[in-house]
């Protein structure tokens, strides 16, 4: 606008007959645009002095600069746009990107006047913001946080009553701002390129979103985007996650560089190969569920067998790898040479993928973020990917890759690893069929346990083990298990099955997630099986050996409905509720053998909390049957606690679970009696076998039970659908009778047929106080687990069982 456009058209337009103060109001439509929008003859912006001179000359309106300042303040009008308003302008323009959109379309209401933005001010603001983004600190583990595709991830948000959608319009146009929609573009008309200012807005918004991603503000990033762009960004980085998982899982064999096409071929071919092979093998990893027409995994486990490690001379590889290599069959892939391994770096591989965008078919031009900025930030601080590398190696369960990362660990990385809670992560992705306790063992050898006892959910390692049981073998919702899961709709690590029936990159899991399912269907689950029990017991024993005293308190927390007292459970109390959950919410065929095995393992571990230790608990509050206005909690030990679970609840369980529950009750009774006697003794003689001052060591029933449990876990798996979950060598009914009868025999084949090697009263086999292997417990060969298509062979774990 030119100042000449504001010249008076008549004497009446000067309002000379009005009082001076009234003239301010009448002349405001001239004064405001003169100051805000006009320039002088030299092209410079108007100042108060220039406005005063113009108004005096042309309107005969006499006022000082200070008077102009005061009236503009009174009107709420200022030429300078505050930073907050500039931020609002950029946010709204960035959210409403349309063809033909321009910064000139933005108008700000100040008082009763309109104000157009100063493009120079806006450009300076944008450049300042972009400079600041270059200095943002990269959050540890941010690139390994995209485990679900968008279709499944969106289902993890439960709509809360009276709460807005997390993906409502996050950027609303402020009341003081209006944006004129760009004119419709006629067909055939050439589309004009965005103005330089608008291009800068788009660049700044892309870098702003990238800075949110780098800082780990993922929810804020995704909420700031519209649905289509949110989906593109999420799936793009999910592609990176899957690419990195596959690379981590197979690091050391097969391809050294993965392309999106190779990963698609690997996963897609595995799925079709599985479908073709279903009718040919009873042990196929996937079967088809006819009922709903959807795929479901087999109910049959895989398993890990620990054995003595023997040195051997490897057979030389065939020179021509191309003749054998089949992307569809990982078993055909050659191991990398030592030279290839020593020259390779997993973190470098991840960095190259980010820089070259080699992990996704999505063009980077379609992304509302700046991959150049992300790649540049990572290249300036490549160590930021080391936490992602650790996280992915743990999830993938590649112990060789973990060993490489362990060799490169620094004090700084060890400190940053706390952010991913490595021990709890290893339990969430526990793989009893492939690595068993191996990943956990590797972490114990590398990391001090002092700083890793409790995770971000408030869970101890023992709590996480219990969560693994409940996640894999019950239909409980996460929020029913822990207050730490109050905003969770799925358990951590559901995408990896503890007994090896599916993994994070399995075709059946990819299909499930892509179809918009975030949780593992209940129909996929089965009872607390031997593969899962063995892995849980091994990790439990290793955690006690390194973490010391078993601690819990994060699960099934309740508050008294009357006095508000916080009610937390001890380890034995927690296990009792886990067992009750297996009986009440578990899968068909549940027997509570696994819960008994974990209880026996707890009793045989060193530094465990005593059975007689009391905690304030309330069964009524736990089961939601407490009446208001009354306190139900009482201080009870584990044996007292298991006895106050209402009979009405127990009687609704299967007969097998009722037998298992009675066995647990009797085990706790015996343990409590032994501990009570110990407290009365002045002198305690150490156990001849283990050398510990442990009252439970001298109890022959608990020792025999522990020996039979170890033998059962080492010798039996369910090979087909018609077989029971417990072998015929171990009778739960006989165990119940044995525990309830003084001086009775354990009338089960493992004992009466002399199937086990000699063991001490503790239940430890002679000469072995660490994790035993089958040949050390069996009097003769009778294990049924030598199906190599379903077995993984591992060296014996180094940590002892107590």
pTM here?
0.84
400-411: pLDDT as tens digits: 999 999 888 776
Coil, helix or strand for 793?
strand
pLDDT score of 662 more than 70: yes
Q: Is the dihedral of CA 162, 168, 170, 174 positive or negative?
A: negative
Task: Identify the CA nearest to 206 among candidates 353, 87, 95.
Answer: 95
CA-to-CA dists, residue 354 to 208, 348, 360, 382, angstroms: 18, 10, 10, 11
Residue-averaged pLDDT of the chain: 85
Residue by residue, DSSP assigns 533-599 as HHHHHHHHHHHHHHH-S----SSS-EE-TTT--EE---HHHHHHHHHHHHHHHB-TT--SHHHHHHH
More confidently predicted of 43 and 62? 62
Angle between helices 384-396 and 227-249 (to 10 degrees): 70
466-485: pLDDT as tens digits: 999 999 999 999 999 999 99
pLDDT for 448: 77
- CB–CB of 166/219 below 8 Å? yes
pLDDT for 2: 82
- Bridge partner list, 106: 179
Under DSSP, the state recorded for 115 is: E
pLDDT score of 523 more than 80: yes
pLDDT score of 271 more than 50: no
In whole angstroms, what separates CA 535 from the centre of its chain?
Answer: 21
How far is it, in rounded angstroms, from Cα 601 to Cα 801?
Answer: 8
Coil, helix or strand for 311?
coil
Q: How many CA atoms lie within 13 A of 20 on its CB side?
A: 8
CB atoms closer than 10 angstroms to residue 296: 18
* φ, ψ (nearest 5 deg) of residue 569: -105, 145
pLDDT for 446: 86
Task: Identify the CA nearest to 598 among candidates 547, 696, 497, 667.
Answer: 667
pLDDT for 269: 36
How far is it, in rounded angstroms, from Cα 581 to Cα 473?
Answer: 9
Q: Which residues contact 64 (CB under 8 A, 6 or more apart)?
A: 52
- CB–CB of 556/569 below 8 Å? yes
Angle between helices 83-95 and 119-133 (to 10 degrees): 80
Q: Which residues contact 26 (CB under 8 A, 6 or more apart)?
A: 15, 18
Minimum mean pLDDT range among 96-100, 652-656, 747-751: 96-100
Task: Identify the CA nearest to 55 among candidates 18, 19, 110, 16.
Answer: 16
483 is written with which tokens? 């207050």
452 is written with which tokens? 């890793």
Minimum mean pLDDT range among 235-239, 559-563, 653-657: 559-563
pLDDT for 284: 37
Q: Is the dihedral of CA 337, 341, 343, 345 positive or negative?
A: positive
Mean pLDDT value of segment 64-71: 92
Identify the band that residue 595 occupies on the pLDDT scale cut at 50, 70 and 90.
very high
Angle between helices 196-214 and 83-95 (to 10 degrees): 90
596-622: pLDDT as tens digits: 999 999 998 755 678 999 999 999 999
More confidently predicted of 287 and 444? 444
Entry field: residues in the chain = 802
427-436: pLDDT as tens digits: 999 999 999 9
pLDDT score of 769 more than 80: no
Q: pLDDT exceeding 90 applies to what percent of the chain?
A: 59
Q: Is the dihedral of CA 508, 513, 515, 519 positive or negative?
A: positive
97-120: b (≥16 Cβ within 10 Å) or e: eeeebbbebbbbebeebebebbee
> Domain coordinates of the chain in residue numbers?
3-75, 137-159+201-251+344-419
Q: Where are the beta strands (DSSP E) in 231-317?
A: 286-288, 295-297, 303-307
How far is it, in rounded angstroms, from Cα 796 to Cα 476?
Answer: 34
- CB–CB of 727/716 below 8 Å? yes
CA-to-CA dists, residue 509 to 41, 267, 476, angstroms: 71, 10, 20
End-to-end CA distance of the chain: 85
How far is it, in rounded angstroms, from Cα 705 to Cα 456?
Answer: 36
- CB–CB of 94/201 below 8 Å? yes
pLDDT for 273: 33
Coil, helix or strand for 615?
strand
Q: How many helices (H) and strands (E) does the chain have?
A: 32, 11
Task: Identify the CA nearest to 485 among candidates 154, 147, 158, 166.
Answer: 158
Helices (H), 250-298: 260-277
Q: Which residues contact 407 (CB under 8 A, 6 or more apart)?
A: none
- CB–CB of 582/590 below 8 Å? yes
Tell me the Cα Rg of the chain.
Answer: 35
Identify the band that residue 312 occupies on the pLDDT scale cut at 50, 70 and 90.
low
Residue by residue, DSSP assigns 482-546 as -GGGTT-SS-TTTTS-TTSS--TT-HHHHHHHHTT--S--GGG--SS-HHHHHHHHHHHHHHHHH
Coil, helix or strand for 627?
coil
Residue by residue, DSSP assigns 692-756 as ---GGGG-HHHHHHHHHHHHHHHH----STTS-SS-TTS-HHHHHHHHHSTT----SHHHHTT-B
Residue with tokens 């003749």: 323
């Amino acid at each position: 606008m030119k100042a000449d456009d504001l010249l008076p058209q008549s004497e009446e337009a000067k309002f000379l007959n009005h009082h001076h103060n009234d003239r301010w109001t009448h002349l405001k439509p001239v004064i405001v645009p003169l100051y805000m929008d006009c320039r002088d003859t030299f092209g410079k912006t108007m100042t108060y002095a220039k406005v005063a001179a113009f108004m005096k000359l042309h309107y005969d309106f006499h006022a000082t600069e200070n008077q102009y300042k005061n009236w503009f303040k009174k009107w709420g009008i200022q030429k300078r746009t505050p930073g907050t308003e500039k931020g609002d302008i950029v946010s709204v323009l960035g959210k409403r990107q349309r063809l033909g959109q321009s910064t000139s379309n933005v108008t700000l209401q100040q008082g009763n006047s309109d104000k157009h933005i100063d493009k120079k001010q806006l450009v300076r603001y944008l450049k300042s913001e972009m400079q600041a983004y270059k200095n943002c600190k990269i959050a540890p583990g941010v690139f390994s946080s995209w485990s679900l595709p968008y279709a499944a991830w969106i289902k993890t948000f439960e709509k809360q009553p009276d709460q807005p959608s997390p993906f409502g319009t996050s950027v609303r146009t402020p009341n003081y701002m209006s944006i004129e929609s760009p004119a419709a573009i006629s067909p055939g008309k050439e589309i004009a390129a965005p103005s330089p200012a608008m291009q800068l807005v788009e660049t700044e918004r892309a870098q702003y979103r990238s800075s949110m991603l780098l800082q780990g503000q993922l929810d804020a990033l995704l909420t700031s985007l519209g649905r289509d762009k949110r989906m593109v960004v999420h799936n793009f980085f999910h592609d990176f996650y899957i690419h990195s998982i596959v690379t981590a899982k197979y690091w050391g064999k097969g391809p050294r560089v993965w392309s999106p096409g190779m990963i698609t071929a690997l996963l897609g071919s595995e799925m079709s190969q599985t479908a073709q092979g279903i009718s040919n093998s009873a042990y196929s990893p996937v079967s088809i569920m006819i009922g709903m027409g959807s795929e479901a995994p087999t109910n049959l486990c895989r398993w890990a067998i620990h054995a003595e490690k023997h040195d051997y001379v490897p057979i030389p590889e065939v020179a021509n790898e191309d003749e054998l290599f089949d992307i569809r069959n990982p078993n055909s892939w050659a191991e990398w040479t030592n030279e290839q391994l020593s020259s390779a770096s997993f973190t470098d591989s991840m960095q190259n993928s980010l820089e070259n965008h080699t992990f996704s078919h999505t063009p980077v031009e379609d992304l509302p973020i700046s991959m150049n900025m992300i790649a540049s930030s990572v290249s300036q601080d490549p160590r930021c990917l080391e936490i992602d590398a650790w996280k992915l190696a743990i999830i993938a369960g590649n112990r060789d890759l973990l060993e490489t990362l362990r060799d490169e660990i620094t004090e700084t990385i060890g400190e940053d690893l706390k952010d991913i809670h490595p021990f709890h992560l290893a339990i969430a992705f526990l793989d009893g069929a492939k690595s068993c306790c191996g990943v956990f063992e590797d972490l114990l050898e590398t990391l001090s346990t002092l700083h890793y006892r409790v995770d971000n959910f408030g869970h101890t390692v023992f709590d996480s083990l219990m969560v693994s049981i409940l996640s894999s073998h019950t239909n409980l919702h996460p929020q029913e298990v822990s207050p730490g899961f109050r905003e969770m709709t799925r358990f951590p690590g559901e995408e990896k099955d503890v007994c090896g029936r599916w993994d994070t990159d399995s075709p059946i899991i990819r299909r499930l997630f892509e179809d918009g399912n975030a949780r593992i269907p209940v129909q996929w689950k089965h009872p607390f099986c031997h593969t899962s029990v063995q892995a849980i017991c091994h990790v439990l024993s290793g955690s006690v050996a390194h973490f010391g005293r078993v601690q819990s308190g994060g699960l099934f927390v309740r508050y008294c409905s009357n006095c508000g007292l916080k009610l937390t459970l001890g380890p034995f109390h927690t296990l009792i509720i886990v067992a009750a959950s297996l009986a009440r919410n578990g899968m068909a065929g549940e027997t509570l053998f696994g819960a008994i095995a974990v209880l026996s393992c707890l009793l045989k571990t060193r530094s465990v909390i005593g059975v007689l230790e009391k905690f304030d608990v309330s069964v009524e509050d736990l089961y939601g049957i407490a009446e208001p206005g009354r306190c139900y909690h009482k201080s009870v030990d584990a044996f007292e606690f298991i006895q106050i679970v209402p009979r009405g609840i127990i009687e609704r369980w299967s007969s097998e679970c009722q037998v298992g529950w009675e066995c647990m009750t009797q085990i706790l009774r015996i343990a409590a009696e032994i501990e009570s006697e110990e407290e009365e003794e002045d002198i305690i003689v150490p156990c001849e076998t283990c050398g510990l001052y442990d009252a439970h060591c001298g109890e022959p029933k608990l020792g025999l039970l522990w020996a039979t449990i170890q033998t059962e876990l080492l010798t039996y798996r369910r090979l087909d659908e018609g077989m029971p979950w417990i072998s015929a060598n171990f009778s739960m009914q006989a165990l119940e009778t044995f525990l309830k009868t003084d001086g009775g025999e354990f009338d089960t084949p493992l004992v009466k047929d002399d199937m086990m090697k000699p063991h001490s009263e503790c239940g430890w086999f002679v000469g072995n106080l660490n994790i035993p292997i089958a040949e050390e417990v069996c009097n003769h060969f009778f294990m049924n687990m030598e199906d190599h298509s379903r077995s993984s062979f591992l060296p014996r774990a180094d940590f002892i069982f107590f």
